[in-house]
Each structure stands twice: as structure tokens, then as C-alpha cells.
Structure 1
């Protein structure tokens, strides 16, 4: 596979899964001690990655769980943030300045802070009350967040079957490796056909809305300097659909939760207008070893794996490095 380091891929994912005992111990301690609300704090892609878990909590729990942008959390000074709050942060590098400031702010309010990163000496790891570490550059954070939120909901009596889920989840490195292999020819063909596309219209819903936002902003825009429009499938018929034309490159991210019908509806309409609609559907991937009732939870992880192959092939056909930046971490702001 193009630009794919299989041992590193497996090792990084395994390091996230291996955090399960520490995550469960943390959750048990928090539940036993009692807390009132949970803040899922991020910036850019790590903020978007929090949305599925805020949503999962809203669907299953009465606990107050909020996904928040790090910089806005500090600026807004929410009154609910206090000594009975828990704040979870994630950062690949452990150096995201807005997140570091948010940690300091949360601690100043008396909140308990937890950080997921791969660098023990980073500002984030050094400033949180508890750092849970993977191998460097481990991505995405859905693995840690699934285990954290699953255990939390289970302890609250709001997630039946967590132990079964967690046991199956132990095999996620192998499962996602198979997803990568299956996605490779799809990614290559897509990139070859879209070498000259300079604008993409992205549609997603349910627990894939965060990934839709992330792939649009963090990959196509930030890493490839391509123009995009992103719209939630439930909001598809309000505004953005007027941008559709016959040659618009439309990407549809389809999952396996209750939003599937909404995304189907948006896809059907898009295909009436555009001749260039590509659907990336998690149902196309077997996920051997995962029970049917848990497949929907894994949609963000599966699509991240699939689209990482697309990204590598876009890098190839466009001769534009995914590491190239003009402004982000290049210019001061």
C-alpha cells in the first residue's frame, strides 16, 4: 500500500487499545468519586473527533457531556465548569497552544483534567492531572474515547454489553488493517479520477458528522489546499444544496446508525444533480469479529482508516505533500 507502514500502524493502534485497563480504572475512580459534568475539549480535528462521543452520551445518558472548542471554552468562561467537572483533552503532538491554555483554565476552576497524547514530555502531558500515553503520532483518538465513554456509560447503567464490546475491540488493529487493505484500490481509483478536482461537497450525518467536518477542514483544506463545502445530511436541504452542479465532486460519508436514512435521502438528491457522487459506506467493510450491534459505534474509526488511504493517493496524484503548510504552525497569530 502506498506510503503505508504496517508495523507502525499496528503498533500505534495496539498502544491505544492497551490503555483499556488505565481508562477503566480512571472511569471507575471518577464515577465512585462523583462528578457533575464532562467537557470534551479539542481544537480543529481533535474537537471534531469529540462530537461522536458527546452525541453518544446525549443519546444514552442523562449526564451533562459537552464537546467544546478549547479557545472558546476559555473565552466563554462557562459557569458550569468547576470543581465537580472533568475535562478530557487530546493532542497528537501534545503541544496545541489553545488546548494547553484550556487545561490551565480548567484547572484554575478546580476541574480534573485528563489528556491523551503520545509524548510524555509535552506541555499537555505535563500539565494535565492524568496523562494516558500511546506511542507517538497515534491517530485517531476514537479508540481511547470509545473505551472511555463506553466504560462510563456502562458504570452508569446506560450501555449494556460493554464488556463484550471491549473484548471484541481488543482486535481492532487487525480489523482496521483489513479495512486499509480493502480500501486501497478504492482510494487509488478515486484519486486518479479526481486529480484535477479543486472543489468538494461533503455530506455526512450521525456519528460521522464530526469526521465529515474533520476531513473537509483538516485534510482537504489544510493539507491539500482544496476548497470544500461540508453539510450535515439532516441539514442538506437548507442552503448548501444550491451549490450543487452537474460536475460538482460530492463525497458522501455513510454510517450505520439512525442517521443513515437522512444520508440516503441527501445522496439520492445529490445524484439527481451531480454526475460525480462518491459514497464511502462503512457497510462495505466486514469488520470480522465485531458484533452487529456494535458496528455503528465504529463508523468514525472505519471511515478515518478508509479516507487515510484516499488522502495518500490524493497526495500522490496532486504532488502535494500532506505535511505542507503555508500558515498553520508556520506563522504566529
Structure 2
């Protein structure tokens, strides 16, 4: 993705409604919705005036935020560009006067009909994560907040985006033995709990519902590391596998607390640690927001190895695109 494209989208969005922007929303479905989580989290953590929301597209259509209007920017993402609920969400956003930013892999997508700004992202090279929709949206959101509220760490973000591909490429090599061992060890398991916190919780959820449930037909549930001790830990035993996505940043303490308990009372534990994988190369003022960008690619390695030992292609579906729903 050419950085000039992101800069133009941000400039056009900031010029919308004479620059009077008070809300930025994110809407999509499934994996595309997961891609938008970190940007929503970033605004919740860093914005002083701008409000935000993160919605599955069909809910955005049926329960449209009352604040949505000409003062709003709405990011709408669909990989195919033709997900009916997402296309309708973009249409609703436009009808309310919002500036819509559509992200898709498909140059002929229906979504683009209702997109004031159009981002066609690249796909297929997992080592160049700056080109995926998660990174593009986060990059644009940081620039938007800088333009609206003078967010102070935009330069650190720029430096982070220059480094993240190197971090990811090194991490891919680093995890190969672990991912193969994981797949062999857990090839017969049918249920996984996935823990995460902070900006990474979105990808704990995404890995559970997309990688494990959708792509491998395995039962899975995402648990926020901070909520683990408020109910879910009661099912902890030595027979159930746990995958803990251990973030770098302010919520790392939540993950460490969960890890300590799991190491005492469980036996089947896989820790995926952003610090071990080199994310601390990025300035600590912004590094936590790069967690899910790193975890996306690394957990793709885990799911790929599971698919191999299961002889179950990641592209096989039972219902999706095959029956009416």
C-alpha cells in the first residue's frame, strides 16, 4: 500500500464537513471486523474528544448509532467487498452524511459504490503486514487523531510501521519449530480457550472464531485475560488446552497474572509472547498497538500447521457460501 494513498484518504476525511469531526466508527463482519478492533481500542485509549464504536455490520444497520452523522468518519471493511451486511452498513453510513472509508481486496467490489474513500489493499504476502487492512486502518486512524486532536506520538507510529515488517519476518522464522510442535501435540484436541488483553483481545477473539471454528471446525472460545478470574478460570484443568496471547504494553500484567495461574493449575498451555518475538524494537509509547498486527501473522503459522496435521484445508467450508443463511 502506497503511503501516499493513506495520506490522501486521511486528508480527504479531515476535510469532510469543514474538518468538524467528532466520531470515528468501525464496522465489518468476521475477520474483517477483527482487523478493525485495534483502531477502535487505540481511539478509546488515546482520544480526548473523539468518540468511537466497533460494530458487526448487521448490528450497525439495525441499531445505527444516534450520533452518526456528518461529523462522523466510518471505516467499512470487507475482504471480498461484497459481504451484503457490510455493503449495507456503508450505505447507511453515507445516508447519514458520514465520510465512509471502504477497504477491500476487490477492485470491483460493491462496497466501493458506498465508499467516499477507497482503499484496495494487497493480500497474500504475510511478511508484509503494512499492506494488510489491520495495519492500514491503524495507520490512518493514528493520522486522523493527530489531525483532529494533535495526537503527540504520530512520529513514533511512523517509525513503528517502518519496523513492523522486519519484526514479523524474524518472528515467522523464530516460531517454526514451536508451531510444528504445537500442531503435533494438540492435533487430537477439539476445544481451545484463547486468552488475550488490550489491543490483542480482538485477535484472541478472531483466532477463536475464524482460525479455529471457521477454518478448522474446532470448538473455541476467547476469554479476556482480565476476565479470566471472574468466572472462566473455574473450568481450568489439566486436560483443556489454553493459548495465551501475551501482549507487550500496559495490559501485559493481566496476561502475566493469567499465565501464573495456568502454569499452576493447567498443563496444556501455549504462550505466544510479543516481547519474545521482538516487538520491543518499536518505541514503547506505541508498541502495544502493534501487538495484534504481529499476532495475526504468527497465529496464521499456528493455524497452518494445524491444518496440515488435520489434513483439513483452511479454505474448506461446510456452510459458508454453500447454503442459504
- TM-score in same-fold range (> 0.5): yes
Residues 1:287 and 1:250: Cα distance change in structure 2 (over 3 Å): closer
Q: How many residues align?
A: 319
- What is aligned with 2:255? 263
| Structure-to-structure mapping, 1:233-252, within 5 angstroms | 233-252=225-244
Question: For 1:1-333, what aligned pairs fall within 5 Å after superposition?
Answer: 15=1, 19-30=5-16, 33-61=19-47, 62-136=49-123, 140-287=132-279, 290-333=282-325
* Compared CA separation, residues 31 and 280, structure 1 to 2 (3 A): farther
Alpha-carbon offset, residue 286 of structure 1: 2.2
- Counterpart CA distance in 1 for 2:248 and 2:231 is 26
- For residues 67-107 of structure 1, the C-alpha deviation after alignment (integer angstroms, 9 at most, x for no partner) is 11110011113321222222111121111111011111112
Q: Distance in 2 between matches of 1:189 and 1:300?
A: 23
CA gap 1:22/1:170 in 2 versus in 1, 3 angstroms: farther
| C-alpha distance in structure 2 between counterparts of 1:242 and 1:95, whole Å | 42
| Alpha-carbon distance in structure 2 between the residues aligned to 1:17 and 1:228 | 37
Report the Cα offset of residue 54 of structure 1.
1.5
Q: Is this contact kept in 2: 1:229–1:240, CA < 8 A? A: no
2:251 & 2:53 partners in 1: Cα distance? 20
> Could you list the runs of 5+ residues in structure 2 that have no partner in the other structure?
none
- Larger deviation, residues 16-25 vs 183-192: 16-25
Which is worse superposed, 25-34 or 171-180? 25-34
Structure 1 residue runs of 5 or longer lacking an equivalent are: 1-14
When the two chains are superposed, the root-mean-square deviation of aligned CA atoms in Å is: 2.1
**Distance in 2, Cα, partners of 1:225 & 1:126:** 34
Deviation by residue 1:290-320 (Cα, 9 ceiling, x = unmatched): 3343321210011111111111101101111
Query: In 2, Cα distance between the equivalents of 1:251 and 1:136?
Result: 26
Give, in whole Å, the separation in 1 of the partners of 2:124 and 2:103: 11
Q: Could you tell which deviates more after superposition, 109-118 or 164-173?
A: 164-173
Contact persistence 2:121–2:133 (CA under 8 A): no
Shift of 1:31: 8.4
Q: TM-score, normalised by structure 2?
A: 0.91
Contact 1:55 1:207 in 2 (8 A): yes
Q: For the structure 1 residues 172 and 16, does the alpha-carbon distance in structure 2 shift closer, same or farther, using more than 3 Å as the test?
A: farther
- The structural deviation recorded for 1:137 is 5.6
Mean Cα deviation higher: 157-166 or 209-218: 157-166
Q: Is the 8 A contact 1:16 1:143 kept in 2?
A: no
Whether the aligned pair in 1 keeps the contact of 2:26 and 2:54 (CA below 8 Å) is: yes
> What secondary structure, in the 3-state scheme, does the structure 2 residue paired with 1:235 have?
coil
- Are the counterparts in 1 of residues 245 and 273 from structure 2 also a CA contact under 8 Å? yes
Please say which of residues 196-205 and 147-156 is displaced more in the overlay: 147-156
